[in-house]
Chains A and B, each alone.
Chain A
Amino acid sequence: MVNLLTEEMRRERTKRYIRAVGDVWLTVLATSIALLGLVLIPVYIMARSAEEEGAQYLAAAVQIAERREQLGALQEMAELTERVRVVSETQRSRPYMSRIVQTVSQSASPISISEISLTAIAESAAAVTIRGTAASRAALVSYTNDLKDVPEISALSLPVSAYAGDRNAPFTISFRWSEPAP
């Protein structure tokens, strides 16, 4: 078919067409992005709101935990205070207790005491149990003899099994402590 457009005009026409198609596609792309952005705004707001709610919840949880911790510490402190009070009271009313501890601890024998417990505590007497480890059998024998020499101690008992070990032998000694009459 005859076309009387010059070569330059045909080239220009073709370029304009390509440019126009490109413009249309770019516009479509830009509009799509803009619309997507508009759609994302509510999503962002909702996400932001959820995040704030989470943070508030977390802060409240931390606060509650701190409060609980604080309450726990106070309770523990109260219990300790109560114990200290009981011990002080006991020491005040039973002055021989410190002498028992002093007596059983002042041995020259190589033994180590891990526990001293008093039961059936009376005004001037108590049942005492000592647990510990003796470096050797000889040390244990020596320590037992030292205790037997103390006038306040009576009915001392040491199970025979304590002599089974030659070294680092655990032992449990029970005796009765009686305060001399004033």
Chain B
Amino acid sequence: MYSRIATYVAQFVPRSLAPRIAGIEIASTFVRAVTIPSDDGSCEFLTVTLGDSARTGGAPNTRALTDALRTVRLKLGSLHAVVSVAERKTFLYETVARDVHHIREAIESTLEARVPLRAEDVVCDGEIVRTVPEGVVVAVTALPRADVLAIHTASRDAGLMIRAIETESHAFARAVLHSTEPESVLLVDLGAHATRIAITDHGVVAYAASVDFGVKLFTSAIMKRLSISEGEAEAIRMQRGFLLGDGNRDVVEALAGPVSALRDEFERHRSFWNHAPDLEVSRLPISRVILGGAGAATHGIAEYLSDALGLPVIQADIWAHALRGGALPKMTASEALDYGTAVGLARRYRPTDPW
């Protein structure tokens, strides 16, 4: 009922007074936020580092999170937010419902088997992936209720109104994938300390995983091999990267180990997806890979992975749909790749949507 009232009330709110919506990615060590005020305007972005107390890996430190969210609100002037939670805390699986009217029933009947938590301790939601002869394939996402409450409390204390909570993969997919074609796409967010792997089916995230393997390993390997500082190693990774050639032999040899490990990880998840051990319907094979995150800017890595996996591997274009004709933000391409999740969150609602 309240939702209908809100929708009615929203008609009387001038579009110019619509609150700014911030897309806020909450990671264990930082909070990254983006606002896209209008379709043709430039966006604003901000990264706030969480204190050491936040580096627990478990439940978020509410006070540190509140402070970070308050900073986002004050600096970006946003009152509404769409927030993402870390992938490692969520449970994502696919199930088949008899029809659209039995989705809730299908989720409830499978939740206990797929999520190692009591049903009352979990918040879950489903999204229709596709229709098959057996019924409707639904991607179910579940998150511990305690985590949802912690984020909600921190946001409320920071003066932010949360309009939605979703996983990082859902947001990242919205930022980099611009079609709902009948295909499966492997999305990779190669972050500094961890890599998120998600597979979309008909444009919907149907599988997600997170591995403790980040681009910092590339930098460390170059530092060790060439005995140089971290800054120099970062510059070499970006400029020379994994380009094969006589002049770059040292760097390629240094990166061979981590890049091979990354390739193996992709192969493992592709194999898991293709064999569908947990679903009674067949899946479409992965047709392409989209590479995002800071590591995607490593020179030559997309070409190498494309050869190794036998699939087209392309670098994510974060701004392609986020800014329709607007000026590009003042950040490097590598930094932009880091903001993929936050941009996806900010794009969940249209800028002119008051509600």
Main secondary structure of the interface of A (DSSP, over half): helix
Contacts of B170 in A (CB 8 A): 1-2
In the complex, whether B355 has a CB less than 8 A from a CB of chain A is yes
Asked whether A21 and B9 contact (CB < 8 A) given A4-B143, A6-B123, the answer is yes
Interface segment among B158-166, B239-247, B278-286, B333-341: the answer is B158-166
In the complex, whether A5 has a CB less than 8 A from a CB of chain B is yes
B105-144 CB mask vs A (1 if < 8 Å, else 0) is: 0000000000000000001111100000000000101010
In the complex, whether B167 has a CB less than 8 A from a CB of chain A is yes
Q: Are A11 and B85 in contact (CB under 8 A)?
A: no
Q: How many residues of A contact B (CB 8 A)?
A: 20
- Name the one of B2, B148, B166 contacting A18, with C-beta atoms under 8 angstroms: B2
Q: Which residue of A lies closest to B92 (CB)?
A: A2
The 17 sampled A-B contact pairs (Cβ below 8 Å) are: A1-B166, A2-B126, A3-B164, A3-B165, A3-B166, A4-B143, A5-B148, A5-B162, A6-B123, A6-B145, A14-B6, A15-B2, A17-B355, A18-B5, A20-B161, A21-B10, A24-B17
Q: Are B12 and A4 in contact (CB under 8 A)?
A: no
Complex CA distance for A3 and B170, rounded to whole angstroms: 10
Question: Which residues in B have some Cβ–Cβ distance to A below 8 Å?
Answer: 2-3, 5-6, 9-10, 12-13, 17, 85, 123-127, 139, 141, 143, 145, 148, 152, 161-167, 170, 348, 355
Complex CA distance for A9 and B152, rounded to whole angstroms: 8
Q: Which residue of B lies closest to A3 (CB)?
A: B164
- Name the one of A4, A15, A17, A24 contacting B125, with C-beta atoms under 8 angstroms: A4
Contacts of A16 in B (CB 8 A): 161
Question: Which residues in A have some Cβ–Cβ distance to B below 8 Å?
Answer: 1-6, 9-11, 13-18, 20-22, 24-25
Contacts of A10 in B (CB 8 A): 3
Q: Are B141 and A4 in contact (CB under 8 A)?
A: yes
Q: Which residue of B lies closest to A10 (CB)?
A: B3
Asked whether A18 and B162 contact (CB < 8 A) given A6-B145, A9-B152, the answer is no
Query: Which of the listed residues A10, A11, A21, A22 has the most CB atoms from chain B within 10 Å of its own CB?
Result: A21
Q: How far is the CB of B158 from chain A (nearest CB, A)?
A: 14
Complex CA distance for A14 and B9, rounded to whole angstroms: 11
Complex CA distance for A6 and B170, rounded to whole angstroms: 18
Contacts of A24 in B (CB 8 A): 13, 17
- Name the one of A2, A18, A22 contacting B167, with C-beta atoms under 8 angstroms: A2
Q: Are A21 and B13 in contact (CB under 8 A)?
A: yes
Q: Are A14 and B3 in contact (CB under 8 A)?
A: yes
Contacts of B127 in A (CB 8 A): 1-2
Complex CA distance for A24 and B17, rounded to whole angstroms: 10
Contacts of B161 in A (CB 8 A): 13, 16-17, 20
- Apart from A4-B141, A17-B9, A17-B161, what are 13 other A-B pairs with CB-CB below 8 Å? A1-B166, A1-B170, A2-B166, A3-B125, A3-B165, A5-B165, A11-B2, A13-B161, A13-B162, A15-B2, A21-B13, A24-B17, A25-B12
